């Protein structure tokens, strides 16, 4: 290739690479913390609630799958739950899927709403009960900007189920609550 073309290829590659919003995550260095429970805070100044209902040890995040078998690619711990935010004065709730990993040596949670509108919230764990980051949305009327969340203390008694008790009952925050 001629030097002029080399420069064009390098410039085009840099431009397209800069457009990428994929944040590289690696498997967390230690065990993934239990994030289940209720988190409240703000997204771009608007009220925000995240209810983490499930947390998975490892879920496929990329690669090749044959049917339900993940053949090639990475697996990361994941979460699923419900995100509630305000749009035009009304509360909107959407299902979210998330993946948890290390980015720049910090534990990071990337949440993606399961909607046609898309969007993404990237959160870094600042403490046992505090997450902060930034959120983007495809729709101009939805929240944008900084996100701050604090885990809420469980409400009422949370007793582990006994044999023969209500099926599916679970404590959403199995770790002891400490003051923030």
Q: What is the pLDDT of residue 42?
A: 95
With CA atoms as reference, report the closest residue to 122 among 143, 145, 93: 145
Q: What is the pLDDT of residue 31?
A: 84
- The two structure tokens encoding residue 1: 């290739």
Residues 9 and 27: their CA atoms lie apart, in Å, by 33
| Contacts with 172 (C-beta within 8 Å, 6 or more apart), sequence order | 36, 37, 38, 52, 53, 154, 158
pLDDT tier at 63 (50, 70, 90 boundaries)?
low
% the chain with pLDDT above 90: 38
CB atoms < 10 A from the CB of 49, how many? 19
When mean pLDDT is compared across 13-22, 89-98, 120-129, the lowest value belongs to 13-22
Delineate the domains of the chain, giving CATH numbers in brackets.
Answer: 23-151 (2.40.128)
Residues in the chain: 180
CB atoms < 10 A from the CB of 69, how many? 8
pLDDT surpasses 70 at 16: no
Residues 15 and 9: their CA atoms lie apart, in Å, by 10
Residues 79 and 57: their CA atoms lie apart, in Å, by 9
Tell me: the pLDDT tens digits for 115-160?
888 899 999 999 999 999 999 988 888 889 999 999 998 876 655 5
């Amino acid at each position: 290739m001629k030097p002029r073309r080399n420069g064009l290829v390098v410039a085009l590659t840099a431009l397209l690479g800069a457009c990428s919003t994929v944040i590289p995550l690696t498997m967390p260095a230690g065990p993934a913390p239990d994030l289940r429970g209720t988190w409240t805070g703000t997204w771009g100044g608007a009220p925000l609630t995240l209810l983490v209902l499930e947390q998975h040890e490892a879920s496929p995040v990329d690669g090749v799958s044959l049917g339900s078998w993940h053949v090639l690619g990475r697996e990361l711990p994941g979460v699923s739950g419900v995100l509630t935010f305000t749009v035009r004065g009304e509360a909107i709730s959407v299902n979210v899927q998330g993946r948890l990993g290390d980015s720049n040596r910090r534990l990071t949670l990337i949440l993606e709403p399961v909607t046609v509108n898309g969007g993404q919230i990237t959160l870094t764990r600042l403490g046992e009960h505090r997450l902060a980051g930034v959120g983007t949305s495809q729709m101009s009327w939805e929240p944008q900007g900084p996100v701050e969340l604090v885990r809420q203390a469980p409400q009422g008694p949370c007793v582990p189920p006994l044999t023969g008790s209500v099926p599916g009952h679970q404590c959403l925050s199995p770790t002891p609550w400490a003051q923030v």
